[in-house]
Structure formats: structure tokens, C-alpha cells
Chain A
């Protein structure tokens, strides 16, 4: 199992070092610094083996996080753990920076003591940890409270403590999808998929049982098969009417059911129930969390299309023309549109002309950045650029792809929340009293067109 965890700054000075196992010595700390951080050639793998010791590392801003082990340990688990640790630290003190780590080193040690025991990851849910690891000193706690804490750490629902109360029971659902696209110059879609996640913010009292319904093909088909289990119209309407108007409009653009390739759930979701009945039921953690992640590849409506045209005129001149077409309902508006057109490093002058928005030549990035605040559906816009190059035949320019980022107020996969029912038997507030908000955001992931 994990033998030790080290945190370094970019200079290779060790900020935190916690050793769990006897087989890891102090020299391991130095070995990593010498062989990875200070190495002449940048290491090309996230796992390196130095003198029979394996180092797993990741870098956040200027900070290196490194886990060491001498055994044949579960590598996926180590990286998952490092990511989790970053999440926890972020939720405690914000951005991971040298200063923050230094200021909170006592806290980090305390956390490391709790989340790893003899190198075995233990409960690492930030919400629960916050209930008993605080930096405000120890509150005098009653015995009952203590057992509450320990049962929360170890219990079957480790992500939620008992006795939560809200005056107003409210929940927010964000369906955030990022569309990934790789398109060839000729406009042929090489690969596309939507990585979606459903983020939930719950402010619910007690231990509520929630049931979540989506327009997944399998569920919908099951439903049509057994008409006895017909959809509950009230729930549908609560989900739809609760929040912004986009839900209704997207409903029109999408088909009734979508095929989800794969989905993953937060640990609160009862997986065996999902496997057997395809129903998503869970007791949510308090506050913000990611309920599910999913991936679809079929029938994705691509919100934008980029059509590039690059012409090299001789060795010193180049002409670039880029057309962007929006491809969604005219009533909707896309936002934060940015198109990044890479140009050769030996560019000396660029002349730009665009119909809409602002375009700039950023020589530091070797790219033209074209920004538009918003763009309606079914519109088209064009940019043309004349680029002058200094003659240079040292290196061939390899034409990186044109990338684009945007935000649209619908789910490009057609994903739809059908209902979210809340049951709390003890406190007796009913499903209809909870206020629910649903929002759909479509974002760009890696949205690239080869030029």
C-alpha cells in the first residue's frame, strides 16, 4: 500500500512529508526531487520506478504531489486517492498553492493521518471530514455527538450525518454537458462524444430518499413495456416548470429518449438497484456533490460547426478563412464563444477582418483568438485573415487544430431530467413541498477542427 505522501513546491523543496511504512526512507524524498523535479529531461510517465520504489505523481499549478510505494499496489487507486486529496484540500483552503499548503500544514498532516491509515485510504469525503477535523480547536462535544461522527465516518451512509434541518427544503440540479468533437478539414466527424454530469445541490432535512428519473432509452423502454408503472405527470411537471424556460424548449429539440453509453454514480447511489431495476435512488449528501456522470456518443446535436480554409500563398503569405455556423434553435442564444486559430510561429504580421465579435492576434500563443459574446441559433459568421510570414524553413509547421469554446443553454445529447422525487418518512415533508430547480448547460469540451 501507499508508503508515503510528499508535497513539493516547484523548486523541489518538500512542504509536507508523511511516511506510513517502514520501507520508505528519507532518501525517497530526495530521490524524487533529483530524478523527477530536477531531472534534465522531463519525465514522460506519471509513474516512475527509481531503485525499486515507485513514485506516482501529479502536478497542480506549481505544486507536486507524490505518493510512493514499494509494493505492487493498485495504481488506479493511488491516482484516485491523489485526486481526492486535492479535492479535500481545495474544499478546506481553496487553491493549492505553495502559500496555502505552508499555512495549513498542520491541517494537512491531520488530514493525512485520517484519510490514510498504514497506507490504506479511509473515508475521504470532505463533508464528513469537516465534521471532526477543524482548525478551530476542539469543541467540547457530547458523547452522542461523537458517536454520530464516528458512525458517519464508518457507517453505511458515510456521506451524510443525521439531524440536518432546513426551513426550506430546496434542491438544485445542474445538467452540465461538455461536447467533445474532432472534425477533419473536410467536415467529417472523426469522433464525438458528450461527457455529461449531473451536479446536485441539496438542502434537505433529515435523511431523504431520492429517486431520479432521466430519459434514458432503457428506462423509457421498460416503462412503455409495463403500462402499470406509468409516469407521474406531477413529477414531470415539477421538474420542467421549476426553473428557466430552456427546459421546455430543449424538450422540443430533442427526441424522447437517448442512449447512454455508460454512466457512473456518486457512491450514494445504490448500484445494485440500478443494475436490477435501472432506477437511480439515493440518499444525497448535504450540500453540493456530483450525482452522476455519463457519456453518450449517438445522436449528438453539435451546436457549432467550424469550417476552415487555409491557403498558403508562396512561402511568406497565408490566407485563413474561418466560418462558424450555429446549429440550434433560433430562439436560443449561445454564449462565451471563443475560437482559437493557430498560426505558424514565424508570423510577422496579421490582418484580420471579422463580421462579428472581436478578433485579435496573440503572438505569445501563436494564435488568432476570435471572441463573440453571444450568437443566436441558425446564424453564420466569418473571419478572414491575411498572414505574413518571415521566410523560415527550419521547421515544418504542423497545423494544430482549430479549437472552440462556448456555452449553450441546452443539453446537446438530448439528456432530460424526467423527475426527482424526494421521500422523507420521518420528518414527513412531502415531495411537492420541496422546491426543485433544474438547469441545462452545454459546454465545449475539446471541440476541435483540423485545419
Chain B
């Protein structure tokens, strides 16, 4: 009957839905929705409801859409019918309907529909109405949730990013929300790149958008990592006004950003103090909101107080509990009160807590009583008062109060031994009323501990023992220990009898293994050596710590990053309650300059989401090997005439053929390899460029000897240094076990070879809250048979925050197992907490033994015996200009022995051998091409015009122009450093200058927004154009010098006709969405770069614009001389070379610094080389084809100021650069230009790798 009734209802609805009266249809749809809400299945009505969709009644339409969203998934075929209506609605003149359509379409999760969604969505993203745009922005996120690939392919992400610059703040806010969500879903791709300019835009939008928009934006900004403390400060300043917002979510999100960025700011600065003052009142105000919000706020305040208790130290009173507060608010307030308790306010707090202990809610009362105990432990001066308060409470005889009091008193006894024993009598009075296990256990512990002062201790314990079997496990354990204690303290008759009884029961009649084991141990102890038993059982207990209830610091830091969110309410990291999605772990940012290992890791964690220490090491090594795999068998380098080869000889049977060469090659290259980035004192680089893991940041090799050479350079200065024996090389320590993985234990370590022994050096750091002890270490079987010669000695206990170093001598007598990679070593470290397993890579140089020298003849013989296939070649650089003798010495120290040295074709050849601990010999041929620096300084002269903003050669290179911060332009004859003329006319710094083809005119642009057109001879200003809204960053003449192009920060390129009398530009190119940073002229094209990350190519003949999205902030563009490619400089320390025709990325040039300034670049006249300045004061040259860095020259030894501008001589191999106020002229050394392939390497090495062999009885 029932089923029929339902059926009848549906039939009725069906009829009504198809009625021709509009009102009836509407009523019917309402009924359908009502049934849907209650959970009835009305999906059968799908076609009928869809029929009602074509209506101009907005209300009805919305209802139909609602229905559609619910049931489309169940009826995908039918849902397609709706597509047309959607498409039509998306073109409706009413923006409300357009938005409604796009909003609903995104909610229909049917694959077939999503395809049809793309076109309307694209249109709506560019709609003229902001209401439609803001809806479309969210729709992109919806679509991404359904089909990521589609969103990628259709370019919606770019469109979404464009919306960040929308004029309407609400559109911006929704775009931020959508981008944040998308990037959270795909953390591996960098979708939402928060950089300085973006954040700036967001901060501007923040002032104008709705409260919710402000929340989205603030939450997004919280993920930004400021460049430095100034950046952080200025963002903080702009965010603090939000603290006065009425919406608590806005306030909490602002607090989150501030708490995060506070980490980056000098903690002692006035700024921080001010911020503290500003943070307190809004937090307090949150307590007068609705209770639910109060709860969220209190949970967050709890975190904030743990992290920075100073903020609220004077606000104790506001956390006093009100009678009518909901219980959850009360409990939280209590928690915070205790955290804020100190000696000055303890009296007040105690009075309050006493009051609370008389309330009705049992949980609350218990917590209050416990709180009193915690106060006693925290504030020593107040301990006595707390204890007397507790005694008062015990006198009330309220059962749960008494029990709770006894539990805390136990803790107080532990904290202050031998101080309050006088109250034991009172406690004993209440023995019978205790019925909870924890309270009983506590009482028994007290009796046992003070057995000698309690006359009837034996009676009391006996009483407990009678009901032993019914007790809770916890109580049983405690009772066992207490009785044994009693016996040891008062070895009289009754206790003895008690002990026998309890031990019998425990060992024979109980099932609990813990209890039984403890019983056996006591028994054995007591029966064999009572004295030892006394020492063990009555040993001094470690003091109880003050803050047992604090969150673990790493967790706390993570939670601080989640202020306002659920994670902060639950006090759990998000991945514990969020399903499925890959949640990135957030960490607090770290101040630069704090440079311990740990901090580096933390800092990294923020920027690179896939931060995993252990994996990083392996990955890196893996990739190194891969690299050399390619180099090894397929020596494409040698085809360019690079004479490197090496051979591996006497292949050992049982090893994989490729394993050893690769391994060694890797190592040798790292020994001899030079990575200029690492070597050239640019550790500062590494700090700024934090996306690279701190250890092994190098890209090309593990550069061991690089550091080794560095050492040498530092220690000596003069040639011919004597080498001490200690001067062997060791890698810096790296993190083997990170604190989170090691339950608070952090291990960093390295290997070194000293006095022919292999040392494993480790630092153990305790980052947990408790002390650690019982350290031990074991090494798994490994390829070289390394085993420790003695047990690990770590002074224990290791207290929290303490670091100790330990050294372990290893020898290679252990069992051998091949593991991959060969140098891998598996180590197990044990402490009292757990056993930790870790992998570390043993640098191969520690295996080099000192008796590896070989007879010359044998060497030659062996060399020839090695098959070609065992050869590996590699080329290395020596940036330190070590002499060959020094090099030899240095290598010898590390047990790389030189057999002979000859000169062939003006190149020094070194033949060397290495012997590994397992008897394998490696033969090396090292060919050294004595080279000069590729670029030599020809001339340097001061320009005397403040800081130089640009240097430019004229058309034939005989003259040059410079512009300076002193508002002048100067004309020079660079070859004689002769200043010919000074031009004035700008009212502020001059940023760019260009001379005409006939040298008769100049154009210039500057901060004063002017573009000047100057006569060179007279210095007269012919034209002054002043139409830009911001400073002019670049100016260029066209070929005939009839037109000036000027690019400005206002986002436009303006074109001026110098022949015309008009002072208005003849054309304005305003396609850029952000400041235009540079222009370059091709034959028929104008190329511009902009901070909106795009290159725009204007084809002048056809009037076409090509846009290329690069994805980095672009600062400078250069078109190659053959007009085929263009080179752009970016603010992410890489230059990129693109094919102009098809926009393909041809090459990326790295290893220089460009994060802040506009650094110019240049191409050599034959397009073979690329030059760029760098922010660390170097001039760098790359090979265009291979992207290899050829050389990097420092401008001044001590001056690392940025080199912003440079200009290549139009005919010669000369360069003009400027650093601060000086102009430098560089010339490429001739010889190098002659033999082109070798330029890249000033040192060319050659090595042979050879041959594994276990030699039995020598190598003859």
C-alpha cells in the first residue's frame, strides 16, 4: 500500500509538472524539491523537471537548477538535454542569469557536460560584468575538481591568474580562493605562484573586498614567504588594520599571517613589541562573540599563548570563567589560564580555581582541581598555597574532587620531594573513598614512596592487596612496586610476608605479562642482591617537568600555520582528519641568518612542498649517476675535441659492468669538479635560493675537491704552501636523521679519512622534550665491508636541546654485500625510544688508501689492458687557478697518487692512480690545459656620476654612453677613459639611454617619467615627451632614428615621432598588464618584456601581436643577431632563450643571481656566447649552445654589489659593464677565441678509470 501511495504521489507530480499553467508547474517543482530535501527519490521526474527549465521566471529556474545539480549524476544521458539551455543562458543579457548558468553548470559533475562547459566558461571569465566574472572564477575550481586535465589544456589557469589583476576586488578574492584550492589539490605543480608583485596586488584588493574575500586573501598571503624581514614587516604593517574588523574570521586570518611573519622579524626589535601590543586587544575581543566563535578563538589563543606567551601575559582576567559560559568555553579558558599563570598573578588564579572547584559540572571541576596542581608545579612560590587549597578541597569530601586532588598531589610530591609529607595523614583518611584506578594508583604510589613515614603503611597496603585481583592493571603494578619499596625501607616481618604474597600472586596467578615480568625482576633482584635491588627500586627519580601538557614544538609550529582552521581547533595536523588529498605540511618560516642545519630544513619546508630529507639525499645521488650514465658511454663532449677519456680495466666478474665506472666517475668528477656556484663564496646564494636543498645544492656534481681547493685558497694565499697531514678533505655534515622521523633525535654526520682510518663523525641533537639515553649503532652489510671497530659512545643521558658529537672508527673487515648504490650505507641507531634506520652515502674518497702508488711500467701495461668499454671521460674546471703542483699535492693528500707527468701538445698530462680499500685500482689520465681566464679586465675607470644605471656602446663601439643616478648622461671614449660631454635635463635618475645610428642624437628616459631627445653636439634638448604615468625603464631609437620607443612602469610602450611637432605619442601599446621592463628591436619587430610574465612581439609590418607566457617575472630582453631567438632575463635567477618563431624554450642559463634588480644581458656578436651581470658582483659568460657556464669573473674582490648593466661591443669581443660608480671594460683573451671548443674549460682533465680487481698478493 505504502509503495503504491508513493507511486501515486509521483504520478500526481508528473501530471502537474506537465501542466500548461505556469503557477501549477512552479508549485509542482517546489513539491519535488521538498521531497528531495527529505531524502525521497524523485529522480524519475527528471525529464519532466527539465522541461520546466525553459522559463523566464528566475525563481523557477533556480529550483530546476537545484534539482538538476542533485540528480544529473544519476541521469547523465538526460542531463545533456539541459546543455542547450545553459549555453543560451550564458548569453542572456541579464548578468544574473549568465552567472546563474555558469554557476550551476560547474556543479553538474557529468563528464559529457564538462566538455560543453568550456566555451561558455571562457566567455564568462572575460565577461564585462564583474558579477559574472567572480562566479566564473569559482567555476574554474569546480571544473578542476572534475577534470584537471581539461582545465590545464584549456588554459583556464592562466585566465584565472589574470583575474588576480582584475579591477573588481571581489573577482580578485574569488580568483584567489579558486587558485588556492587548485594548488592545494595539486601541490606538485606550482599553480599559484605567490611573489612580491602578486602579494602587493592582493594587499591592495584586501582593502576593498567583502569580509569573506578578505579571509580568502589573508589565507593565501599566509602561504607567501617574504623575501626578507623588511618585506615581512611591510606586509605586517598593511595587515594590522584588519585586526579591527568585525568578522572574527578576518581577525584570526590576519593573526595567522602576523604570527607566521613574526618569525622572520628580529625578535628584539621595536616592531615586534608594537605588534604584540596590537595583537592582544583583538584576541581579547574575540571572547565577547558567540560561544561557538569563542571556542574557535580560544583554541587558537591556546596555541598562540604556547608559542608567544608574552602577547597575552597581562590579560589573565579576561579568561576568568563566567557562570553561563558553555562548558566547552569554560574548559578552554581554564587551560589558557594555567598557561598564563605566573608568580605575579597566582593569587588571583588560585582564588578563581577554588571557586570553580565548587561548580556542578564534573569535568570542569576535575579540570579545575588538576589545574591547581599544575599551578603548584609551575610556580614554585605558590606551591604551598596550592597544596593547602587542595587540602581544603579534600576536606569537602566530594568524591571526584578528592580523587582528582590526590592525583595531582602525587605530581606535586614528585616535583618537590620531602616538602609536603605532613599532609599524608589527611590523604590516608580518604583512602576508602577512592574508586578510580588513577587515584588509587596515585595513593598507593604515595604510600610506597613515603613508607618509612607512614606508621601503618603495611596495613594500608595489605588492605589493597586483599582485593588485588579485582584491581585495574595500573593499580596492580603500582601496588607491587609499593610493597617492594616498603619492604626495602622497613624490612620487618609483616612487609616480608606481604612481599612474598604479592610476588606469588603476581608471578603465578596473573595473565598480564607486564605485571608478571616486573614481579620476576623484583623477585630475582631481591633474592640475589638486596643491595642492588635497593639501588634500582629506590633510585632517585627524574624531576617532573613543568610543562608536561605542552604541544610538541614541531607540531605547535605547524598548527600556528593553520590558525583559524579546523586543524587549530582539533590541535591536530590536517592530514589526520582530512581524507585523500595530499596535504602539504606547513612550517613556520625562518629568519635568514639563523644558520644551523635545522633552520635550513625548516626554511625549505615552506617553499618546497616536497620536503623530505631522507629522500633528497638519495634522489640527488641517483640523478648524479644518471647524468654520468649519459656522459659515460656516449661521450658527446669528446666529439667537440675535449680530450678526456678514461678506462676501466680488468672488469671484475661478479659486478655489474656499469656500476663501478659510474660510481667512480661520479666521485672523481666531484673531487675534481668545480661548480663555480658553490665554490665562489656564494654560500649566500644558497640561502636566498632556498628551493634547492641545503645539502648538496650543486647541480653538476658533488664537488668534493672543490671545497678542498677552497680550503687551500683560504689557508694559503701564497703559492708553495706545505700541506699538513690533517688537510684532508671531508664533506660538511649533512642531516641523516631528521628530528620528526627520529622522534626528536636528529643525527647529522659525515665520513672522513684521517691517518688511514675511516671515521664516521656524527652530531646527535635531542629535539624532544625528554632526555635520551642508551645509544647504540649498527651498520648493515655493505659493498665495502665497513664495520665499526668499537661500540658507539654517546654521553647519556642526552638532555633536550643538547648536541653531542661522536666519532666512530670504521674498518673494512666486515662482510660484503653489494648494495645499490655502492656507496650506500645502511645504519641503525638505537636509543631508549626506538630504533631508527637511515641511509647515508659514504663519499668514496674515504676508501682511497695511501699505498695506491704504482710502478710506471705496470701503469702503462695496465693502461693498455683496460678495454675501451671501461673508459669514462669527464671534463672538469678549476676556477681557483691552482698550479699543477698544488693540485698534485692536494690530490696526493687524498691518496690520489701521481705516477708521472708529461707535456703533450703544450698540455700538461698527469697520470695517476687510486687504490680502494678493497684492492681495486683506478687509473687516471689528467690532461691540463693551462688557460687564462677567458675574460680579462682591460680597463676600469670611475664615471663620477653616482651609481651608473646603464652603459651603452654607440653604433660602432668607439664611444659609449652612460647614465647615472645623478641625473646626467655622459658620453665617453672608453678606450682612453675620456669623458667627452655631459648631458643634463632629467630631474631624476636616468634609467636608459640610446644613441642614433649617425651618432647625432640621443634619447633617454628616467624616473622623472620623461623621455628626452637630445642633440649630441650641442647637448640641447630637442624634444621632451612627458606622457608616461610612471618611470621610463627603457628607450630605443628605430633604425632611422625617426622614432623613439619608450617603455614604462605604467604598463605601456609609447611611440614618439621625433620629426613631428606633436608632443603626443603616435601610438600607445598598452597590452601589458604590468610594468614593461625592457624593449628590444628586431628587423621588423618590437619585443617587450613585462612583469606580467609575458613577452610580447609586435610585428610592425603586419601590425600583429604575439604573446608568449614565460612564467617568470621578466626583466630584460635581447634579440639574437640572427633574429632567430630572443633571450630574456628573469627574476628567478635564470635566463631563458626562446625560439622567436615557435616560442620554444631552447636553453636555460642558470648559476647566477638575479632576484631583485633588473639585470641586463648581452649576446656576443656571433651569437656564440651569452653574458650577464649578477647580483653578487660577477660577470658571467655562458656558451649559448650548451648553456654551460664558461666563466664568472668578479668585478672587485671585496665588492659584491650587483652588476646591473652591460653592453657588448658591436664589433670586437669586448664588453662594457658597470658596478656602482665604475665602468669596466672587458676583453676576451685572444687565444681562447681561436680555439673555441676549449674556451669552456680553462682546465681540461682527463681521466681513466679502471679496473676492479681484488688483488691477491699484489698487482704484478
CB nearest neighbor in B for A132: B96
* CB–CB B62/A22 < 8 A: no
* CB–CB B296/A76 < 8 A: yes
Contact pattern, B 987-1003, Cβ under 8 Å of A = 1, otherwise 0: 00000000000000000
B200 vs chain A, min Cβ distance (A): 14
CB nearest neighbor in B for A262: B281
Which residue of the partner chain, among B37, B246, B252, B323, contacts A76 with CB atoms under 8 Å? B252
* CB–CB A109/B66 < 8 A: yes
* CB–CB B398/A396 < 8 A: yes
- Name the A residues within 8 Å of B574 (CB-CB): 72
B871 vs chain A, min Cβ distance (A): 56
Q: Say yes or no: is B419 at the interface (Cβ < 8 Å to chain A).
A: no
Q: Say yes or no: is A439 at the interface (Cβ < 8 Å to chain B).
A: no
Which residue of the partner chain, among A80, A83, A149, contacts B96 with CB atoms under 8 Å? A149
A115-123, A201-209, A423-431 - the one binding chain B: A115-123
CB nearest neighbor in A for B575: A72
- Name the B residues within 8 Å of A129 (CB-CB): none
* CB–CB B244/A109 < 8 A: no
- Name the B residues within 8 Å of A80 (CB-CB): 211, 247-249, 293
Complex Cα distance, B247 from A122, in Å, reads: 14
Which residues, 1088 to 1115 on B, are CB-close (under 8 Å) to A? none
CB nearest neighbor in A for B142: A118
* CB–CB A52/B564 < 8 A: no
Known: A46-B295, A156-B169. A109 touches B328 (CB 8 A): no
- Name the A residues within 8 Å of B358 (CB-CB): 396, 398-399
* CB–CB A123/B210 < 8 A: yes
Known: A74-B565, A158-B170, A267-B211. A58 touches B241 (CB 8 A): no
Contact pattern, B 118-137, Cβ under 8 Å of A = 1, otherwise 0: 00000000000111101100
Contact pattern, B 516-554, Cβ under 8 Å of A = 1, otherwise 0: 000000000000000000000000000000000000000
- Name the B residues within 8 Å of A124 (CB-CB): 210, 212
* CB–CB A150/B95 < 8 A: yes
* CB–CB A264/B285 < 8 A: yes
B153 vs chain A, min Cβ distance (A): 21
Interface centre among A79, A153, A270, by most B CB within 10 Å?
A79
* CB–CB B33/A106 < 8 A: yes
Complex Cα distance, B252 from A264, in Å, reads: 13
Q: Say yes or no: is B808 at the interface (Cβ < 8 Å to chain A).
A: no
Q: Say yes or no: is B355 at the interface (Cβ < 8 Å to chain A).
A: yes
* CB–CB B39/A26 < 8 A: yes
- Name the A residues within 8 Å of B579 (CB-CB): 23, 52, 70
Q: How many chain B residues touch the partner (CB < 8 A)? A: 107
Q: Say yes or no: is B567 at the interface (Cβ < 8 Å to chain A).
A: yes
CB nearest neighbor in A for B62: A110
B195 vs chain A, min Cβ distance (A): 23
Q: Say yes or no: is A341 at the interface (Cβ < 8 Å to chain B).
A: no
Q: Say yes or no: is B1189 at the interface (Cβ < 8 Å to chain A).
A: no
A9-17, A228-236, A330-338, A350-358 - the one binding chain B: A9-17
Complex Cα distance, B358 from A396, in Å, reads: 9
Contact pattern, A 154-184, Cβ under 8 Å of B = 1, otherwise 0: 1110100000000000000000000000101
- Name the B residues within 8 Å of A295 (CB-CB): 281, 284-285, 288
A444 vs chain B, min Cβ distance (A): 13
* CB–CB B244/A274 < 8 A: yes
Which residue of the partner chain, among A56, A73, A191, A271, contacts B292 with CB atoms under 8 Å? A56
* CB–CB B95/A190 < 8 A: no
B89 vs chain A, min Cβ distance (A): 14
- Name the B residues within 8 Å of A1 (CB-CB): 177, 181
A108 vs chain B, min Cβ distance (A): 10
B106 vs chain A, min Cβ distance (A): 7
Which residues, 58 to 98 on A, are CB-close (under 8 Å) to B? 58, 69-77, 79-83
Known: A150-B131, A271-B207, A293-B246. A118 touches B106 (CB 8 A): yes
A335 vs chain B, min Cβ distance (A): 23
For the complex, would chain A's binding face be called helix, strand, loop or mixed by DSSP majority?
mixed
For the complex, would chain B's binding face be called helix, strand, loop or mixed by DSSP majority?
helix
Complex Cα distance, B109 from A271, in Å, reads: 41
- Name the A residues within 8 Å of B248 (CB-CB): 76, 79-80
Q: Say yes or no: is A31 at the interface (Cβ < 8 Å to chain B).
A: no
* CB–CB B168/A154 < 8 A: yes
Known: A1-B181, A155-B168. A79 touches B296 (CB 8 A): yes
Complex Cα distance, B495 from A364, in Å, reads: 59
Q: Say yes or no: is A378 at the interface (Cβ < 8 Å to chain B).
A: no
Q: Say yes or no: is A401 at the interface (Cβ < 8 Å to chain B).
A: yes
Which residues, 384 to 426 on A, are CB-close (under 8 Å) to B? 396, 398-401, 403
A23 vs chain B, min Cβ distance (A): 8
Q: Say yes or no: is A448 at the interface (Cβ < 8 Å to chain B).
A: yes
Complex Cα distance, B583 from A52, in Å, reads: 14
Contact pattern, B 668-682, Cβ under 8 Å of A = 1, otherwise 0: 000000000000000
Q: Say yes or no: is A299 at the interface (Cβ < 8 Å to chain B).
A: no
Complex Cα distance, B247 from A290, in Å, reads: 12
Q: Say yes or no: is A49 at the interface (Cβ < 8 Å to chain B).
A: yes
CB nearest neighbor in A for B293: A79
Q: Say yes or no: is B1160 at the interface (Cβ < 8 Å to chain A).
A: no
- Name the B residues within 8 Å of A22 (CB-CB): 109, 145
Known: A72-B583, A195-B288. A264 touches B245 (CB 8 A): yes
Complex Cα distance, B39 from A132, in Å, reads: 30
* CB–CB A154/B170 < 8 A: yes
Contact pattern, B 550-569, Cβ under 8 Å of A = 1, otherwise 0: 00000000000010111111
Which residue of the partner chain, among B215, B244, B253, B327, contacts A271 with CB atoms under 8 Å? B244
Known: A106-B59, A191-B317. A153 touches B322 (CB 8 A): no
- Name the B residues within 8 Å of A293 (CB-CB): 246, 285
Known: A29-B39, A75-B569. A113 touches B62 (CB 8 A): yes
Complex Cα distance, B323 from A182, in Å, reads: 10
Known: A106-B30, A263-B244. A155 touches B37 (CB 8 A): no
Which residue of the partner chain, among A82, A83, A150, A191, contacts B129 with CB atoms under 8 Å? A150
- Name the B residues within 8 Å of A398 (CB-CB): 358-360
* CB–CB B253/A396 < 8 A: no
* CB–CB B244/A264 < 8 A: yes
Which residue of the partner chain, among B109, B138, B171, contacts A117 with CB atoms under 8 Å? B138
Complex Cα distance, B242 from A54, in Å, reads: 28
Q: Say yes or no: is A225 at the interface (Cβ < 8 Å to chain B).
A: no
Q: Say yes or no: is A226 at the interface (Cβ < 8 Å to chain B).
A: no
Contact pattern, A 115-144, Cβ under 8 Å of B = 1, otherwise 0: 001101111110000001001011001010
CB nearest neighbor in B for A184: B351
Complex Cα distance, B135 from A293, in Å, reads: 32
CB nearest neighbor in A for B26: A106
- Name the A residues within 8 Å of B245 (CB-CB): 264-265, 267, 271
Contact pattern, A 258-279, Cβ under 8 Å of B = 1, otherwise 0: 0001111111001110110000
- Name the B residues within 8 Å of A82 (CB-CB): 292
* CB–CB A120/B138 < 8 A: yes
CB nearest neighbor in A for B247: A80
* CB–CB A77/B566 < 8 A: no
Q: Say yes or no: is A151 at the interface (Cβ < 8 Å to chain B).
A: yes
Q: Say yes or no: is B297 at the interface (Cβ < 8 Å to chain A).
A: yes
Q: Say yes or no: is A324 at the interface (Cβ < 8 Å to chain B).
A: no
A342 vs chain B, min Cβ distance (A): 10
- Name the A residues within 8 Å of B94 (CB-CB): 141, 143, 146
* CB–CB B285/A122 < 8 A: no
Complex Cα distance, B56 from A137, in Å, reads: 11
- Name the B residues within 8 Å of A76 (CB-CB): 248-249, 251-253, 293, 296-297, 564
Top 3 A-B pairs ranked by shortest CB distance? A262-B281, A150-B131, A77-B249
| New A-B pairs, 8, CB < 8 Å, besides A113-B103, A272-B238 | A14-B39, A47-B295, A76-B248, A80-B248, A150-B99, A262-B282, A264-B282, A401-B323
Chain A to chain B contacts (Cβ below 8 Å), 26 pairs: A13-B38, A44-B327, A45-B295, A45-B328, A46-B328, A52-B577, A70-B579, A71-B578, A74-B219, A76-B296, A77-B253, A80-B248, A83-B290, A122-B174, A146-B94, A151-B130, A153-B131, A154-B168, A155-B168, A191-B320, A193-B318, A264-B244, A267-B211, A267-B247, A293-B246, A295-B281
